[in-house]
Structure 1
Amino acid sequence: MDEFDEDLIRALQLDGRAQFSVLAAELGVHRTVVAGRVHELIETGEIRIHAAVHPRAVGLPVQVNLQFRISGPSSPVFERLLEFTNVVFLSEISGQSQGVVEVWAADLDDVGRTVRAIQAIPGVGEVQFSLYDRVLRRLRLGEDPDPKELAFDDFDIDLMAQLQLDGRLTFGELARRTGRSASACRARVLRLLDSGVMRIGAVRSRLNATSSVLSGVGIMLSGDAEGIASAEDLLLDVPTIEFAARTLGRYGLIATIAARSIGDYTDIVRMIRAHPAVSRVETWVHASVWLERYEWSLDRLERLRRD
């Protein structure tokens, strides 16, 4: 991929419904260039654009990161993990561990059952556990929504379900599919977006490595609270860090870096290592991302609303 594609995808990750004219102005090209390239990226499967519903909105407030070692063939392990309904991210990685998985769960009991099920998969060895204490940045999801915003009606659920399939559906098309007016659809979608319940953006196809480098860092911390807060701020100042979280477990912080090159990745890791509150950094490269999903079934949303 060239620099233009990388910049375009980054912009769509931040706002999947951005108008082509706005994207064109940001990137310094004509609107038709942006429109044509976005359609090509979608048609070839390089990206998909859809709504991501915040985990708290679907009753999954507990998120954990698990790294595991594999003995023997790796594909059967990953194929088995694809069957887990609460796995939202699954990647084959380089380094001391061979896999990383992110799990969203209803509570710690749910986490325990999932961890034990993963450990029982033939070929899975040592599992390292990190519980997200606070998510600092999640590119595809914003800040935690206000609890008062976590009440949905049928109209909300219909809109979220449609936008999970195609995040760029026009308000007119949403009106046709939901049986409401376009103005009502617009007002309700904007409310869902503004509240943090839902965010719409591009998700890249990362099953195979591309010219960009997707990597993870596990950061061990030392020092006082002020120094640790400064380390968190450092991560948030790096625009190519797609995900960062304060964690409980092996690491104090975990982050995902989407660097443009090995050189960029190396510079970022060097900068993290140089921070006075950082005592150790462990790194891994996402060689093959098997799963990255943010869609949840309409049935789950309706069941939560009834409860």
Structure 2
Amino acid sequence: MTQSVTLDALDRRLIHALQIDGRASFSSIATVLEVPERTLARRYHRLRSALVVRVVGLVDSGRVGMLDWFVRIDCAPEATDALTAALAQRDDTSWIAPLAGRTRLTCMVRTPGTGADGGRPLFDHLLRTPGIRDVEAGCVLRAVAGVGGWAGRTSALDAAEQAALLGLAPPSPRSPDVLAGASGWGEAEARLAGELALDGRADIAQLAAATGWSASTVRRRVAALRAAGVLHFEVDVSPSHFGFPVEALLWLEVAPAALGEVTEALSRHAAVAFAAVMTGRASVFAMVQCRDIGALYDYLAGELAALAGIARAETALVQRRAKRAGPLLLPAMAQRAQRFPPRPTVHRVGHTRAT
């Protein structure tokens, strides 16, 4: 559990800078922000030690032949905590959240992209687990909002500061030459990604030890993967620290002809932290951050209601986030599970490793 920490103006400026380039040196950021380097380094390490902020390296699933799924699990109330703990320890899960009411759990799952049944072994295993009533999985087809960071944490720097930091960041992906230069994804790359998922600012020596590469090879490989869009960095911080403690999940049934218009609008909505088009009955999924329940109502009745093409909207409140974008930093949940062992029938959730 993160400590109670209030982010001040400098904290927010640092977080915005790291969202632009998560591996930028503190000296580079200090030059742009006109703040002493040691001050920024102390701020970051204080926030990271408090489990409030960290930089995580994330891999674009599609570029390495993987699939992302948004999964809803309907389960018995007494099974929710144990299932949450088991799923949180997996390296192929993220964004795990029991929903208010304690009968549903949601998470993102990454599976091998071997045809349409890439995630079937895991999903079948879940369905056979006592305490689980139903599993609904939608394959993420395209992220349409929040990819570059939620607007609530990327509004602390002015245009000139953002431009200066963008000038230090790697080139944008999409160039065929760059993509070709980053081809090849093997065990060493997977180990590299694993280290960066734990700590996106891990030093070169640590990454070299994990991969078996030389320091110069690590630098070149990280640069190539970033330039190709295979690897990117996000700041992992709860919106509650910015004064937005209410998180709601939306499942939107959108007519195909309206998908472009609806998703374009969602990408401009300040409340939307993330949105994606996916398979299934609800073609659009979104995470929404609000200051309070009243603000959530205002969003649903205002901006969202104004979008033509949405035939039906389902809303659920997140009770808590057991896991966000990156792996668990500390085995707090595992320790809790050892003190209060989960029911054996629920702990049977398999551990199919995605590599």
Q: Same fold (TM over 0.5)?
A: yes
Within a 5 Å distance, the mapping from 1:45-60 to structure 2 comes to 45-60=51-66
Q: Structure 1: which 5+ runs fail to align?
A: 302-307
Q: How many Å separate the matches in 2 of 1:96 and 1:268?
A: 25
Q: Does 1:104 align with 2:136?
A: no
SS at match of 2:57: strand
Deviation at 1:10, TM superposition (A): 4.9
Q: Does 1:70 align with 2:103?
A: no
Q: How many Å separate the matches in 1 of 2:107 and 2:186?
A: 32
Q: Does 1:118 align with 2:123?
A: no
Within a 5 Å distance, the mapping from 1:1-307 to structure 2 comes to 1-2=6-7, 4=9, 5=11, 8-20=14-26, 33-60=39-66, 62-73=67-78, 74-82=80-88, 84=90, 86-94=92-100, 98-106=104-112, 107=114, 108-137=116-145, 139=147, 148=180, 149-152=182-185, 156=189, 159-171=192-204, 180-182=214-216, 185-204=218-237, 212-222=245-255, 225=257, 227-239=258-270, 241-262=272-293, 264-269=295-300, 270-294=302-326
Deviation at 1:198, TM superposition (A): 0.7
**Structure 1 residues 159-168 or 280-289, which shifts more?**
159-168
Cα distance, 1:228–1:9 mapped onto 2, change above 3 Å? same
Deviation at 1:40, TM superposition (A): 1.0
Deviation at 1:115, TM superposition (A): 1.9
Letter of the 2:214 partner, please give it.
R
Q: Any conservation in 2 of the 1:65–1:129 contact (CA below 8 Å)?
A: yes
Letter of the 1:113 partner, please give it.
P
Q: Any conservation in 2 of the 1:241–1:255 contact (CA below 8 Å)?
A: yes
**Structure 1 residues 135-144 or 233-242, which shifts more?**
135-144
Q: Structure 2: which 5+ runs fail to align?
A: 1-5, 150-171, 328-352
Letter of the 1:132 partner, please give it.
V
Deviation at 1:154, TM superposition (A): 7.5
Deviation at 1:76, TM superposition (A): 2.1
Q: 1:143-184: per-residue Cα shift (whole Å, max 9, x none)? A: 8997744414787556445433432234576568766355x5
Q: Any conservation in 2 of the 1:119–1:125 contact (CA below 8 Å)?
A: yes
CA RMSD of superposed structures (Å)? 3.9
Cα distance, 1:253–1:35 mapped onto 2, change above 3 Å? same
Deviation at 1:211, TM superposition (A): 5.2
Letter of the 1:188 partner, please give it.
R
Q: Any conservation in 1 of the 2:22–2:55 contact (CA below 8 Å)?
A: yes
Deviation at 1:92, TM superposition (A): 0.6
Q: Any conservation in 1 of the 2:236–2:326 contact (CA below 8 Å)?
A: no
Q: How high is the sequence identity, in percent, across the aligned residues?
A: 22
Q: Any conservation in 2 of the 1:56–1:144 contact (CA below 8 Å)?
A: no
SS at match of 2:274: strand
Q: 1:284-303: per-residue Cα shift (whole Å, max 9, x none)? A: 222222223556xxx975xx
Cα distance, 1:171–1:221 mapped onto 2, change above 3 Å? same
SS at match of 2:321: strand
Deviation at 1:237, TM superposition (A): 1.4
Q: TM-score, normalised by structure 1?
A: 0.76
Q: How many Å separate the matches in 1 of 2:14 and 2:323?
A: 22
Larger strand share, 1 or 2: 1
Q: 1:14-47: per-residue Cα shift (whole Å, max 9, x none)? A: 4322344665688786655543321111111122
Q: Any conservation in 1 of the 2:69–2:139 contact (CA below 8 Å)?
A: yes
